[in-house]
Amino acid sequence: MKVAIVDLVRVLDESKEGLAGAKRLEGLFEEQQRELAPLIQQVKTKRDPKIEKQLETRAREHEQDREKMRVDLRNSLLARAQAAVGRMATEHSVDFVLGKPQAMLWAKPELDLTTAVLNALDA
């Protein structure tokens, strides 16, 4: 029986799609911060409870928007990665693949298909 591993954290963090998603999230955050800046300034100068409440509400909505985007991007990448893992497993005649670090305590480095999966995703 042949076993292989894939480091999903590396796939999410180092693939072109993962890096592009991180940039999109960063861009959204910066855009949202620019939108909130006038409210933040008003809260600092006026101490108006209505403005504070409005700021809290908008900040919470922005956080929810970013979390939804993060989840959507992650799920999209994981679906593509799963397909790439299946192809790599077939190419390497692997019987099953463990996800690192979640389901593994130790493995021989030569069992790691992460780089092959990254290359397949980024091709």
Give the whole-angstrom CA distance, residue 10 versus residue 113: 11
Q: Are 58 and 39 in contact (CB under 8 A)?
A: yes
Each of the 123 residues of the chain gets a pLDDT tens digit; together they read 888 888 888 998 999 999 999 999 999 999 999 999 998 898 888 888 898 999 999 999 999 999 999 999 999 998 999 889 888 888 989 887 888 877 665 667 787 888 888 999 898
Within 8 A by CB and 6+ apart from 50, the residues are none
User: How many CB atoms are closer than 10 A to CB 60?
Assistant: 10
Q: Is-cis flag, bond preceding 101, omega within 30?
A: yes
Domains of the chain: 3-122 (3.30.910.20)
